Amino acid sequence: MGTYTGNDLNNYKQAHKERRFIFQRWKSWTMSGNGGNDTLIGGPKNDTIYGDDGNDNLYGKGGNDYLSGGSGHDYLNGGSGNDTLSGYFGNDTLDGGTGSDRMYGGTGHDLYVVDSTGDVVTEYFNQGIDTVKSSISYTLGANLEHLTLTGSAYSGYGNSLNNRISGNSYNNFLWGKSGNDYLYGYGGNDTLSGDVGNDSLYGGTGNDTLYGGSGNDYLDGGTGSDWMYGGTGNDRYVVNSTGDVVTEYFNQGIDTLYSSISYTLGANLENLTLTGSAYYGYGNSLNNSISGNSYNNYLWGNSGSDYLYGNAGNDTLSGDLGNDYLRGGSGNDSLYGGSGNDTLYGNSGNDYLDGGTGSDWMYGGTGN
């Protein structure tokens, strides 16, 4: 075994006008960088490399190596073999390389690269916000916050923390478990399950399946024909395709749908907001709240006691059945109360107000 200390390394740097030292002899080495930003590269045997102070780059290469970053923001790469990597202080990147590696980032916001089922990542409580990039299916261990799937990895599972889990271009299964999680499917036909907590699910491209679970969840299928089920809680949905399907069951919360296409609320959905250039919005048998956008909208409450808001544009609002509240907003609007005891506000513009049957209250606002 050979030993090369920081003082020896400093002498080497001064002599060779560089900050890089490579050990390639067929023996094991112990190296210490001490101060400065060092690059230390081991050989084919079992090496021990200490970065010490500074922002260091440590490479174990072959053998079963021990790499210790010390203070600073360090990059540790074990190479081949079953390596042990310790980042200690700073925001470190730990890549065990091939083999079954043990990685401990220490304090700071650390990044881990995992490529084997034998890799073990250890973090302790309150030691930063840490991320695992995994080319295999992976479950976040204790005290790990974020997971990004790379390569052809299929599944990613969270833990009890507030996780951010991102898929790749393949068909992924992402499960947040408990905590308020963010799940991103990106490419592929993905299945995302928030489970417990107030979760945000983004399908990305492809035909995705999103399950909110319990809690007040946000579900956005992205492009493609997506199936979304929020579960219990007051959920929010984003719809942008006629192929999107939103499912809610009885008494599972007050749910809101944001649609960039014309849309009719399905069963057990309460509220609708039109976005983009969507033209019409239709309610159901519940007490709905339906809001238009800046275009000329047609809003229909259907049965139930509904709230209709035209907002900008020259809108047509129809309360139909129930005791409805209609507000035209700006523009020249037409408001029809239908049956029931309705309240109609024209607001600004030259509006037309027809209360229909029942005892209605109407106020035109400014304009003729």
**What local confidence, expressed as pLDDT, does residue 222 receive?**
98
Instruction: Output the pLDDT for position 10.
Output: 42
Residue 306 lies in a domain: yes
Tell me, yes or no, whether 201 lies in a domain.
yes
Kindly state whether residue 368 falls inside one of the protein's structural domains.
Answer: no
Q: Is residue 152 part of a domain?
A: yes
Burial of 365: CB neighbours in 10 Å, binned 0-12, 13-18, 19+: middle
Can you read off the two tokens belonging to residue 31? 């190296």
In-domain check, residue 177: yes
DSSP 3-state assignment of 155? strand
pLDDT in tens, the chain (368 residues): 344 443 344 434 433 333 455 555 556 789 898 888 999 999 999 999 999 999 999 999 999 999 999 999 999 999 999 999 999 999 999 999 999 999 999 999 999 999 999 999 999 999 999 999 999 999 999 999 999 999 999 999 999 999 999 999 999 999 999 999 999 999 999 999 999 999 999 999 999 999 999 999 999 999 999 999 999 999 999 999 999 999 999 999 999 999 999 999 999 999 999 999 999 999 999 999 999 999 999 999 999 999 999 999 999 999 999 999 999 999 999 999 999 999 999 999 999 999 999 999 999 999 88
Residue 215 inside a domain? The answer is yes
- Is residue 321 domain-resident? yes
Q: Identify the pLDDT of residue 6.
A: 39
pTM: 0.91
* E strand intervals along 115-204: 120-122, 131-134, 138-139, 146-149, 155-157, 164-166, 173-175, 182-184, 191-193, 200-202
Q: What is the pLDDT of residue 26?
A: 57
Q: How many domains is the chain built from? A: 1
Residue 151 falls inside a structural domain: yes
Q: Which domain holds residue 327?
A: 2-363
pLDDT reported for residue 35: 82
